[in-house]
């Protein structure tokens, strides 16, 4: 009897371990803070402070230092990036995901929510269109190869009108064309793609 119960306990704890492992393996989407490395966040926070809160300037300055290039080269490099094809791979590039998560946290989370669920404080109410766990967005980031490209357009171009509501909240997507560097837009898209547990391989996300 005694032996039996030990065996049951062993069996139970074994399956517990297996379940945990399975959960970790399947967990795919990472929470914002788990995706971000402290170094990436503090470097960008510092750069933003140094560049008077200008996101593109802050980001490009970081690139200048990191790559040992001139400011002009950093701008040219950024402008040379595609507007239709994500140069990063959400499943293979944790650095890009971390940097994208930093962009998300600083510039998107107030509206789209810390969990990317469309429940940010600057929206008048939770909006399905701003929820990246919404089926249509998940579907878009995986099966429909045009989505990342469409997201790039939406993020840079916003929607036609971006007037705040009378209480200062927003019901429309603002344009980030003059705010973010092109690379930052792709990084944040990469982070959004990383949220999709169904996105098992990057081939499907390369929007070719």
Binding site for ligand HEC (CB under 6 A): 107-108, 110-112, 122-123, 127, 129-130, 151, 154-155, 170-174, 176, 188
Residues with Cβ < 8 Å from 185, sequence gap 6 or more?
Answer: 152, 155, 156, 176
Closest CA relative to residue 173, chosen from 190, 188, 157, 187: 157
The CB-of-11 to ligand HEC minimum distance in angstroms stands at: 46
- 177, 184 contact by CB (below 8 A): no
The CB-of-192 to ligand HEC minimum distance in angstroms stands at: 7
Residue at shortest CB range from ligand HEC: 129
Q: Which is nearer to ligand HEC, 63 or 112 (CB)?
A: 112
The CB-of-48 to ligand HEC minimum distance in angstroms stands at: 14
Closest CA relative to residue 91, chosen from 182, 181, 206: 206
Q: Which is nearer to ligand HEC, 69 or 154 (CB)?
A: 154
The CB-of-189 to ligand HEC minimum distance in angstroms stands at: 7
How many Å apart are CA 75 and CA 63, to the nearest integer?
Answer: 9
Strand-pair partners of 131: 117
């Amino acid at each position: 009897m005694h032996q039996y119960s030990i065996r049951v306990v062993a069996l139970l704890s074994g399956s517990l371990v297996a379940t945990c492992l399975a959960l970790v393996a399947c967990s795919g989407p990472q929470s914002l803070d788990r995706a971000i490395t402290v170094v990436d966040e503090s470097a960008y926070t510092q750069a933003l402070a140094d560049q008077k809160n200008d996101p593109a300037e802050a980001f490009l300055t970081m690139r200048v230092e990191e790559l040992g290039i001139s400011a002009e080269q950093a701008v040219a490099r950024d402008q040379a990036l595609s507007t239709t094809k994500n140069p990063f791979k959400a499943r293979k590039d944790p650095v890009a995901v971390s940097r994208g998560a930093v962009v998300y946290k600083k510039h998107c989370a107030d509206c789209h929510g810390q969990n990317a669920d469309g429940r940010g404080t600057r929206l008048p109410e939770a909006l399905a269109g701003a929820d990246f766990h919404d089926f249509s967005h998940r579907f878009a980031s995986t099966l429909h190869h045009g989505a990342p490209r469409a997201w790039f357009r939406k993020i840079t171009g916003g929607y036609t009108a971006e007037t705040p509501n009378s209480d200062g909240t927003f019901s429309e997507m603002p344009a980030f064309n003059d705010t973010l560097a092109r690379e930052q837009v792709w990084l944040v898209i990469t982070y959004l793609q990383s949220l999709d547990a169904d996105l098992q391989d990057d081939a499907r996300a390369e929007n070719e």
